[in-house]
Amino acid sequence: MAVIKLQRPKLGPGEAIYLTALAKGFFLTLSHAVKSLLGKSMGAKDLASSGLGVTMQYPEQTWDDHLPEYYRGAPALVTDEQGRERCVSCQLCEFICPPKAIRIIPAEIPSDDPWAKVEKRPAAFDIDMLRCIYCGMCEEVCPEQAIFLRKDYVITGLNRKEMVHHKDKLYQIGGVRTGLVNKWNELK
């Protein structure tokens, strides 16, 4: 591996005594203090319930509306607009999952089921939320667009068993997702 020698930047006399930087910092803090006293701090409207409006009163208040589009919360399974559970238990998410949080027991779809041609679906799908690191690899690897990371982050339980999300819970969190590729429809 090549060794790259870095040259430290030469500081001018003004930078070397750092008093200007210190003064800048004090000024910034002071400006925030003035803003909050005037009720003009960031998010003051949402946090207006108490005091100066700078402290979020969690859990009465939450930041949910401000979560970015790319936020990675609890992984969940989804059904599509046809009511079909999209997971075919290919077990790729189980394989890719870095903390081994996912366990799937595959099963065959009985021949009298309307989606019998899909042949396979999970009999059990467990995600251990104590293990999950919200990395999103399961969503990325899924060839069926069946698992998505939702914005849920309040995952609580009184014991380890409660912290395992079973299949019904995962579908409850995931809900219906529309506009996905329906590769199992009649036209192959």
Partner 1 sequence: MSDTPSATIPITLPKDLAAAMGRVNVQINGQWHHFPKATRMIEACRQVQVAVPHYCYHPKLTPSGNCRMCLVQIGMPPRPAPGQQPQRDALGYEPITWSPRAVIACANTVSENMGICTTSELVESCQAGVMEFLLINHPLDCPICDQAGECRLQENALGHGRGVSRFVDRKVKKPKNVTIGPRVRLDDERCILCSRCIRFMDEVAGEPVLGFTQRGTHTTLSVHPGRLLDSNYSLNTVDLCPVGALTASDFRFHMRVWFLKETPTIDVNCGTGTNITVWTRENTIHRITPRRNNDVNSDWMPDSHRLNFHYIDSSSRLTDPLAKAGNHHRQATWAEALQIIAPQLKAIAAPAIAIIASGRMTNEELFLTRLLAQQLGTPHLALVPRFAAPDALLIAADRNPNTTGAKLVLQSADPYAGLDAIRSAVRAGTIKALLVFGEDLISDAGFATADLTKLEFLLQTHLLANPTADAAHLVLPAAAFTEKRGSMVNLTGRLQRLNRATALPGQARDDWEILRDLTHVFTGAAAAPAQIDEVFAQLAATIPAFAGLSLATISPAGIPLLDTGHSIPLLDTERARTAAGRING
Q: Which residue ranges make up the site for partner 1 (CB under 8 A)?
A: 88-92, 94-95, 106-108, 111, 117-120, 143-144, 183, 187-188
Shortest distance, position 153 Cβ to partner 1, whole Å: 29
Is 131 within 8 Å of 100 (Cβ atoms)? Answer: yes
Q: Kindly tell me which of 3 and 187 has the beta carbon lying closer to partner 1.
A: 187
> Which has the closest alpha carbon to 128: 164, 167, 74, 172?
164
Shortest distance, position 87 Cβ to partner 1, whole Å: 9
Shortest distance, position 122 Cβ to partner 1, whole Å: 10
Shortest distance, position 16 Cβ to partner 1, whole Å: 58
Integer Rg of the chain from CA = 25
Sign of the CA dihedral running 11, 13, 19, 23: negative
Q: Rounded to whole angstroms, what are the CA distances from 30 to 53, 105, 155?
A: 16, 59, 38
Q: Kindly tell me which of 115 and 134 has the beta carbon lying closer to partner 1.
A: 115
In degrees, rounded to 5, the angle at the alpha carbon of residue 181 between the alpha carbons of residues 178 and 183 is 130
Q: Kindly tell me which of 90 and 163 has the beta carbon lying closer to partner 1.
A: 90
Q: Kindly tell me which of 118 and 164 has the beta carbon lying closer to partner 1.
A: 118
